[in-house]
Amino acid sequence: MKSILQSSVYALATAACLVTTQARAQRPADLTGTTWTLQANRTTAQLVINTQGGAGAPGAAVCQHIDANLNTTPDIKATGWYCPATGRIYLVHRNLDSKIAVRVFTGNVSDQVIGQPLYMVGTMTVLISAFGDVGEYNFSAVKQ
């Protein structure tokens, strides 16, 4: 009897592991065309990720290049990369004329969970005081 009970417990545990593994959430493979409400250093902006380079392009075996806009007045362009396997995202806002980096956003995108929005959180580094006090600040975003 004890042997049958142990076998049943092991079978249930194995089945639970298999179901959990199959239902595991993943990060989105492509962020192209997504719009996010971004909050950073007490200000809110809209982040729109316009394009994402495809896997297999030179230098894009794991992470792909992305182009985005921070919709403020005027629109601010940002470029960087996104790694679908890890959810890591990196965006650089450069001065339009000088091309000098003025802010850097480093963070992670959440897993896709049915019925829940996507989230992004991380650190915004202000490099030029025109965009606030120089230093690091948290940021968060939710996909609209």
pLDDT tens for each residue of 35-81:
999 999 888 999 999 999 976 667 778 899 999 999 877 789 999 99
pLDDT tens for each residue of 1-12:
555 544 444 444
Q: What is the pTM of this model?
A: 0.79
The answer to whether position 100 is within a domain reads yes
The string of DSSP letters for the chain reads -HHHHHHHHHHHHHHHHHHHHHT-----S--TTEEEEEEETTEEEEEEEEEEPPTTSTT-SS-EEEEEEEESSS-EEEEEEEETTTTEEEEEEE-TTT--EEEEEEEEEPPP-TTS--EEEEEEEE-SGGGSSSEEEEEEEEE-
pLDDT of residue 114: 92
pLDDT of residue 46: 96
Enclosing domain of residue 51 = 27-143
The answer to whether position 2 is within a domain reads no
Looking at residue 117, which CATH number applies to its domain? 2.40.128
Q: How many domains does the chain have?
A: 1
